[in-house]
Amino acid sequence: MTKQKYKVVGTRPIRHDGADKVTGRARFGADITLPGMLHGAVLRSPHSHARILSIDTSGAEAHPDVRGVMTAADLQPGAPVGTGILPGQNHPGNVMARSKALYKGHAVAAIAATSVHAAQEALDLIKVEYEKLPAVLDVESAMKPGAPIVHEDMVPYSLGPADDFPPNVVGREQYVLGDLTAGFEAADVTVEREFRTTSVHQGYIEPQNGTASWSQDGKLTVWCSSQGHFGIRDQLGVTLGIPVSDVKVVPMEIGGGFGGKLPIYLEPLAAVLSRKTGQPVKLTMSRAEVFEATGPTSGSYVTLKIGATSDGHITAADAMLAFEAGAYPPSPITGAAAAIFAPYKIDNVRIDCYDVLDNKPKVAPYRAPGAPIVAFATESVMDELAEKLGMDPIALRITNAAKKGDRRADGVMNGPIGALEVMEAIKAHPHYSAPIEGEGVGRGVGLGFCRNNAGPACAIGNVLADGRVSLVEGSMDIGGSRTAVAQMFAEVLSLPVEDVLPSVGDTEAIGYTSVTGGSGVTYKSGWAAFEAANDVKRQVIERAARVWDAKVEDVEYVDGEARHLSDTALKMSFKEIAADANNTGGPIVGRANLNPPGAVGSYSALLVDVRVDPETGKTDILRATAFQDVGTAVHPAYVEGQIQGGITQGIGWALNEEYYLGDDGAMQNASLLDYRMPTTLDLPMIEAVIIEVPNPNHPYGVKGVGEASISAPLAALANAIKSATGSRLRQLPMNPQSIVKAVSG
> pLDDT at position 140, please?
98
pLDDT for 666-725, tens place per residue? 999 999 999 999 999 999 999 999 999 999 999 999 999 999 999 999 999 999 999 999
Distance (Å, whole) CA 519 – CA 638: 13
> pLDDT at position 1, please?
45
pLDDT for 384-432, tens place per residue? 999 999 999 999 999 999 999 999 988 899 999 999 999 999 999 999 9
Coil, helix or strand at residue 641: helix
> Could you give the residue ranges of the DSSP H alpha helices within 46-128?
58-61, 92-95, 116-123
Q: Which residues contact 64 (CB under 8 A, 6 or more apart)?
A: none
The tally of CA atoms less than 13 A away on the side-chain side of residue 311 is 1
Distance (Å, whole) CA 643 – CA 332: 22
Contact 555, 437 (CB under 8 A): no
- Going through 86-188 in order, the beta strands assigned E by DSSP cover 100-101, 107-113, 127-132, 157-159, 169-177
Q: Given 3-state DSSP classes, what are the helix, strand and coil percentages for the chain, each rounded to the nearest 5?
A: 30, 25, 45
Give the β-pairing of 571-573 and 561-564.
Answer: antiparallel
Helix or strand holding residue 484 (H, E): helix 481-493
> Which residues lie across from 354 on neighbouring strands?
172, 322
> Could you give the residue ranges of the DSSP H alpha helices within 606-664?
636-655
Average pLDDT, the chain: 97
Q: Position 712: which residue type?
A: A
Contact 220, 212 (CB under 8 A): yes
Provide DSSP, 252-301. Answer: -B-S--TTTTSS-SSHHHHHHHHHHHTS-EEEE--HHHHHHHS--PPPEE
pLDDT for 102-149, tens place per residue? 999 999 999 999 999 999 999 999 999 999 999 999 999 999 999 999
> Which residues lie across from 110 on neighbouring strands?
42, 70
Distance (Å, whole) CA 22 – CA 348: 53
Contact 29, 223 (CB under 8 A): yes
Contact 599, 697 (CB under 8 A): yes
Sorted by where each starts, the structural domains of the chain and their CATH numbers stand as 18-25+454-594 (3.30.365.10), 32-133+205-256+261-293 (3.90.1170.50), 300-452+600-744 (3.30.365.10)
At 228, give phi and psi (nearest 5°). Answer: 180, 95
Distance (Å, whole) CA 101 – CA 209: 22
> Which residues lie across from 460 on neighbouring strands?
472, 591
Distance (Å, whole) CA 640 – CA 634: 11
At 626, give phi and psi (nearest 5°). Answer: -105, 140
Distance (Å, whole) CA 653 – CA 447: 16
Q: Is the pTM of this model over 0.95?
A: yes
Torsion, Cα of 172, 173, 177, 180 (10° steps): -20
Residues (pLDDT < 70) of the chain are 1-3
Helix crossing, 229-240 with 267-277: angle to 10°?
50
**Which whole-number Å values give the CA distances from 651 to 213, 294, 551, in the listed order?**
41, 22, 61
Q: Nearest 5 degrees, angle CA 645-CA 647-CA 652?
A: 95
Q: Which residues contact 119 (CB under 8 A, 6 or more apart)?
A: 39, 40, 41, 65, 66, 111, 112, 113
Distance (Å, whole) CA 217 – CA 215: 5
